[in-house]
Amino acid sequence: MFRLFKKRQQPSAVSAIWMRTGQWIEVRIRRLADKLNRRAETWSRRSIIIGLIIFCSLFSSLFIYNLTQSTHTGPRIDPIIIPAHTPLPADNAVREDGPFLGKEALRRLVRFKQFLDSLQQSPTGVQEYDRITKEHPGIRDSIEYIISLYMGKDKNVEYGKEK
């Protein structure tokens, strides 16, 4: 059979500290409330209503002021600049019927890879190639990986050209 009254557990030392802290705060709040009640005993009903109206109008006007001013300030947002050689899908939706990269995007990737090759081989373009690879480490491997993934999906496509 189940017990109707459970055995009381002794509070732990940590909960006793929190209980004493809560009691101390409660005493302070009660003292402040009594002090404010004694001060407000001499006020008439009309002066209390006027005080509430002033209080509410002051804080509502401050709230509205902060609300209107907050739209003018905020975090600075930097625009995203997309280079011309970046492969972009024709639409934002992912197509389920075919590869995500279209033939145009693959062609742009291949052109960018050829551009990197030409920079690497020319004596004047080596500095530009080094700067690109320093700012974007692994870009060459990523491009080759994306092209190889595309080639694995569609066996009829070889670097953007149909076989």
CB neighbourhood size of 155 (10 A): 8
Place 12 in a pLDDT band, splitting at 50, 70 and 90.
Answer: low
Q: Which contiguous run of DSSP H or E holds residue 162? A: strand 161-162
> What's the rounded Cα separation, in Å, for the pair 139 and 16?
61
* 162 vs 111, higher pLDDT: 111
What is the per-residue pLDDT across 28-82, written as a single tens digit (0 to 9) for each? 999 999 998 888 888 888 988 999 999 999 999 999 988 887 665 566 777 888 7
Question: 11-20, 32-41, 123-132 — which is least confidently predicted?
Answer: 11-20
* Cα 64 from chain centroid (whole Å): 26
Task: Report the alpha-carbon distance of residue 44 to residue 49 in Å, rounded.
Answer: 9
Q: Write down the pTM of the prediction.
A: 0.34
How much of the chain exceeds pLDDT 70, in percent?
A: 72
DSSP E strand stretches across the chain: 157-158, 161-162
Quickly state the pLDDT bin for 1 (edges 50, 70, 90): very low
pLDDT of residue 154: 47
Whether residue 114 contacts residue 133, with contact meaning beta carbons closer than 8 Å, is answered with: no
Question: Any idea what DSSP says for residue 2?
Answer: -
- Which carries the bigger pLDDT value, residue 160 or residue 82? 82
